[in-house]
A and B are shown apart, each in its own frame.
Chain A
Amino acid sequence: MSTVAAFTMETYRLGLRTIRRFVRVPANWISIVFFPLIQLLVFSQLYKDIVQLPAFGKQISYLAYLAPGQIAFTALMAVAWSGYGMLVEYRTGYLDKLRSYPIGRWSILAGEMVPLFFQSAVMAGIVLIVSLLLGATLVTGVGGFLLILVLSGAFGIAFAGTSFIPALLTKSEQATSTISLLLFPLVFMSTAFVPEALMPGWMQAVNAYNPVTFIIEAIRALMVTGYDWSAIGKAVLSMAALGAVLQGVTFWAFGRLAR
């Protein structure tokens, strides 16, 4: 079997298992969509009138403004749980069993990452559908819908390292969830809740480099204005750069299990 075919087969088999592990525990996906949906429902009512500020431009409602941020946030929630799953399997010894099989080290990680792509995409899709039902717009139609799912999935892969790296290095549930929590300010300081124009100067400066803002703006463009390739391109490039670094470190941390 060629290396590529072997990698594909192994990733497929391991990925199926990861997906089983995910869907067989309803708490998994409920906990991922619960928080973003609550924010969507509560904040859209609480700050309903904020959308009248000029900085919001031609937004039809605050809910429509909030939706892209909560879609991206959902992908981050999926990421937050992913390293946790591997940690549980490290503890039960199942990870060791996988490492004792004649399969590639990359396949074991890909068997976690590929399902994470689909989890992030599907969970984000649920929040997107709820948003649309509540009155948000999607001007790009089905094409835009699919593109948002792909971007959300890729966003999950790009950030996966923030959960897997602490899980593999500290082997502590507490450390892993704490580091996931540290990502939340990145969301709060992004354009998820208010446009950049309403932020203090220093926060605007941070936002020039905030990858969460890049993905939110790409999704927002697809929902409100259309295929804005510069916004989409910016999101894709930032995710590629971040993903390459974090995935590389994750692989290194995985290799340390044999020390």
Chain B
Amino acid sequence: MAPANMPAIETAGLVKVYKGGVRALDGITFQMSPGELFGLLGPNGAGKTTAIRILATLLVMTEGSARVAGLDVSSKPREVRERLGLAMQTPSLDAFSTGRETLELAGRLHRMPSASIKRRADELLELMGLASVAKKLTGTYSGGMKRRLDLASALMHCPEVLILDEPTEGLDPQSRVALWDELERISRTGTTMLLTTHYMEEADRLCTRLAIIDNGQIVVEGRPDELKRSIGADTVVLQLAPDQRAAATQRLGDGNGGRSDGDGPTGAIERGPSADGQVVEVRRLLEGIVAADAVAAHPGGVTLSVPNAGTAVPDLLRRLESDGLRVSGLQMRQPSLDDVFLKYTGRRIREEAADQPILLGW
């Protein structure tokens, strides 16, 4: 058992170069406290699975060091395995064992006493909604049932650290949400959890802290809300009533050298008839609240970037109203992890099927 103040998982300068020269990990360093639910978020091929496999003692690293539950994965792999629950990207089950046999074997190999194996298997089968199919071969299970059984077998021995690689990959939206609930429940019991995902929503909902990983390196690390705040601004979208748009344009015409709608080909159509006018008008009204360059036009209204939408919006609405501009719709949006990913990598994450292990044959 690791002392309470020791990191549950700790890596330092983790490098993995596969035979053939592929540099899957290029110096990964992170720490997890006990009880934390930490996520590695990144696109396919970023190195997430490689990192997991090293921590799970399935793969040897090229450089660096890693400790799980305070134990070095290179020098004490067996002790690490005793404290570890692992569920890989595709549920790894023996198709010709039943659900119960799968759990019992996991219990046996973790040296649990017979009585507690039976009790724990019953408990997990019930919890995962698999009690009715416990005596059926896992080969007959649906994708969601396989996931749940795989997770149950990882939980059999009440591991100190649970490592999950793409835990909801390939699940339908309903099963995904159900599994999230389950993972949150497990996390509340104090189990340290490390998971990888390429789903923004999943990382956002589950992780207390996460690291964005790209090209084998951690680009940024922090709490989801912290990372989103680092983007610097919330987004406020204002829809203006049609007559107000005309009014705004009118006023623009008075004060802006008679520039009329649609006279430039650029962006005129997509911005709507009075887009430029609204921007200028709103900019003028918002002087002192919002920086001028944080206002952009969109069809039927304007989009603003403000540091804190919650406090800015009441003031904003008051000013618009006092000037006679009627707002027909209002949306506030906080930055998403997608925005965070975009900021730090310059790319958007593509939510496609997770990469399969490379299976090279002859």
CB within 8 Å of B: which residues of A?
Answer: 1, 9-10, 13-14, 17, 20-21, 24-25, 89, 91-94, 96-103, 170-175, 257-259
Decide: A101 near B362, CB < 8 A? Known: A17-B101, A24-B137: no
Measured CB to CB, the nearest residue on chain A to B153 is A97
Which residues of B lie under 8 Å from residue A20 when comparing CB positions? Answer: 96-97, 101
Which residues of B lie under 8 Å from residue A100 when comparing CB positions? Answer: 56-58, 81, 84, 86
In the assembled complex, how far is the CB of residue A2 from the closest CB belonging to chain B, in whole angstroms? 13
Q: A93 touching B109 by the CB < 8 A rule?
A: no
Which residues of B lie under 8 Å from residue A96 when comparing CB positions? Answer: 53, 58, 88, 92
Provide the B66-107 mask, 1 if CB < 8 A to any CB of A, else 0: 000000000000110110101011111111110001000110
The CA of A257 and the CA of B60, in the complex, are separated in Å by 10
Which residues of B lie under 8 Å from residue A9 when comparing CB positions? Answer: 108
Which residues of A lie under 8 Å from residue B4 when comparing CB positions? Answer: none
Q: Contacting A170 at CB < 8 Å: which of B19, B111, B361?
A: B361
Count of interface residues, chain B, beta-carbon cutoff 8 Å: 37
Residue B177 lies at the interface, judged by CB distance under 8 Å to chain A:
no
Decide: A102 near B81, CB < 8 A? Known: A17-B105, A96-B58, A97-B88: yes
Q: How many A-B residue pairs have CB under 8 A?
A: 85
Measured CB to CB, the nearest residue on chain A to B137 is A24
7 CB contacts below 8 A, A to B, read A10-B109, A21-B97, A92-B93, A94-B94, A100-B81, A174-B362, A175-B362
Measured CB to CB, the nearest residue on chain B to A12 is B108
Decide: A93 near B137, CB < 8 A? Known: A13-B105, A100-B57: no
The CA of A165 and the CA of B45, in the complex, are separated in Å by 29
Q: B96 touching A99 by the CB < 8 A rule?
A: no
Measured CB to CB, the nearest residue on chain B to A98 is B109
The CA of A125 and the CA of B285, in the complex, are separated in Å by 94
Q: Contacting B19 at CB < 8 Å: which of A21, A99, A102, A259?
A: A259
Decide: A89 near B88, CB < 8 A? Known: A101-B106, A170-B361, A259-B60: no
Which residues of A lie under 8 Å from residue B108 when comparing CB positions? Answer: 9, 13
Decide: A21 near B58, CB < 8 A? Known: A100-B86, A101-B106, A174-B361: no
